[in-house]
């Protein structure tokens, strides 16, 4: 392994162009606190890239937004399944132009479970330019649909939806909420209990949503894509990341105590 330097000292574009001109083969690693990106080169061509949940060209473009990281290179001839098709020079130019914004967006969208609502107090004097794309996103926001559902309802591409949501949130017009939670199942200890029990702190978070500002009466509990139940909910302290469910509901969902479920407030 050879140490190349840091992103603060050597621009990523220069490193990639140098390896391209030298027709190098091997693995470039960029490592920073809590994250790592891997770029695979084959005779100077970028053939594979991965960075956390990002793969392919998206991983490379995001990397141009990093402001720190240590670069290392391991020469080898390992063959991998390619996930990058574009010209390296074209990707470098796009990364220099769009990378910082795309990285900010990727950092902002931490999950497909994010929910967006109009901000209660938009910044004074802020201006928002609305076009067809923006309206196609805003018209489906209801304070309950998550990012994946908004993308499907808007009928436009993921990147376009994310650009609209990020721009409006960055300007202070939208608020980002995390209504979905992954909770671990435990059987309700109280005899005859017919609903769900979750931690009282979770109700405080859910009530930040305008849809649930007066309280949450029911929750949607989902195991996978096809198994779902809506239950009356009670809140009590000390449950942390656990959800109490009746045995009948566990059987209905096909889960056991200790399994994890996706939970969100239900209207």
Nearest to 206 by CA among 119, 147, 144, 260: 144
- Do 173 and 185 share a structural domain? no
Q: Percentage of residues in the chain with pLDDT exceeding 70?
A: 97
Q: Is 80 found in the same domain as 17?
A: yes
Instruction: List, for residues 106-125, the tens digit of each pLDDT value.
Output: 999 988 889 998 887 777 77
Q: Is 233 exposed, middle or buried (0-12, 13-18, 19+ CB in 10 A)?
A: buried
CATH number, domain containing residue 188: 2.40.40.20
User: Residue 63 has what pLDDT?
Assistant: 96
Predicted pLDDT at 122: 74
**pLDDT, position 230:** 94
* Same domain (yes/no): 171, 185: no
Do 56 and 133 fall into the same domain?
no
Task: Please answer whether residues 162 and 111 qualify as being in contact, where contact means their C-beta atoms are separated by less than 8 angstroms.
Answer: no
Segments of 108-170 assigned E as strands: 115-118
Report the 10 Å Cβ neighbour count for 258: 9
Q: How far is CA 147 from CA 113, 151, 230, 256, in A?
A: 6, 6, 21, 29
Coil, strand or helix: which one is 132?
Answer: helix
191: left (phi over 0), alpha (psi -120 to 50) or beta: beta
203 and 150: one domain? no
Single residue among 85, 108, 131 that ends a domain in this structure: 108
Alpha-carbon 66 to chain mean position: 17
Report the residue count for the chain. Answer: 267
Residues 164, 211: one domain? Answer: no
Q: Which pLDDT does position 218 carry in this prediction? A: 94
Q: Are residues 223 and 145 in the same domain?
A: no
Could you tell me whether strands 26-32 and 35-42 are parallel, antiparallel, or unpaired per DSSP bridges?
Answer: antiparallel
DSSP-derived 3-state class of residue 164: helix
Say if residue 129's pLDDT is above 80. Answer: no
Last residue of a domain, one of 88, 108, 128: 108
- Mean pLDDT, rounded, of the chain: 90
CA dihedral 264, 255, 237, 145 (to 10 degrees): 0
Per-residue pLDDT tens digits for 23-68: 999 999 999 988 999 999 999 999 999 999 899 999 999 999 999 9
Question: Are 103 and 121 members of one domain?
Answer: no
Assign 194 a pLDDT band (cuts: 50, 70, 90): low
Domain enclosing residue 246, as ranges? 181-266
b/e string for 184-223 if b means 16 or more Cβ within 10 A?
ebeebeeeebebbbbbeebbeebeebebbeeebeebbbbb
Q: Please indicate, yes or no, whether residues 14 and 103 belong to a single structural domain of this protein.
A: yes
Exposed/middle/buried for residue 174 (C-beta within 10 Å: 0-12, 13-18, 19+): buried
Q: What is the pTM of this model?
A: 0.73
In this structure, are 17 and 81 located in the same domain? Answer: yes
* Portion of the chain with pLDDT greater than 90, in percent: 67
Q: Is the confidence at residue 192, as pLDDT, over 60?
A: no
CA distance 152 to 84: 26
Backbone angles phi, psi at 201, to 5 degrees: -65, -30
Same domain, 8 and 100: yes
Per-residue DSSP letters for 67-79?
A: S--EEEEEE----
Q: 185 and 216: one domain?
A: yes
Domain boundary residue, one of 70, 93, 108: 108
Tell me how many domains the chain contains.
3
């Amino acid at each position: 392994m050879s140490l190349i330097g840091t992103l603060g000292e050597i621009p990523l574009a220069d490193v990639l162009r140098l390896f391209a001109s030298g027709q190098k083969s091997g693995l470039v690693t960029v490592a920073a606190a809590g994250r790592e990106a891997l770029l695979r080169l084959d005779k100077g061509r970028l053939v594979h890239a991965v960075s956390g949940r990002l793969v392919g060209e998206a991983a490379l473009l995001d990397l141009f937004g990093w402001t720190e990281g240590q670069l290392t290179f391991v020469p080898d001839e390992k063959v991998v399944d390619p996930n990058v098709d574009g010209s390296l020079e074209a990707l470098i130019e796009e990364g220099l132009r769009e990378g910082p914004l795309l990285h900010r967006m990727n950092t902002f969208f931490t999950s497909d479970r994010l929910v967006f609502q109009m901000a209660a107090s938009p910044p004074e004097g802020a201006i928002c330019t609305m076009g067809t794309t923006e309206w196609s996103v805003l018209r489906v926001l209801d304070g309950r649909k998550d990012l994946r559902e908004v993308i499907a309802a808007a009928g436009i591409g993921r990147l376009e939806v994310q650009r609209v949501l990020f721009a409006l949130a960055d300007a202070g017009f939208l608020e980002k909420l995390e209504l979905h939670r992954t909770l671990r199942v435990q059987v309700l200890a109280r005899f005859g209990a017919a609903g769900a029990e979750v931690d009282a702190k979770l109700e405080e978070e859910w009530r930040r949503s305008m849809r649930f500002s007066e309280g949450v009466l029911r929750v949607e509990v989902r195991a996978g894509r096809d198994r779902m139940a809506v239950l009356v909910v009670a809140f009590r302290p000390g449950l942390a990341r656990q959800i109490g469910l009746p045995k009948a509901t566990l059987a209905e969902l096909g889960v056991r105590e200790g399994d994890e479920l996706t939970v969100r407030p239900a209207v």
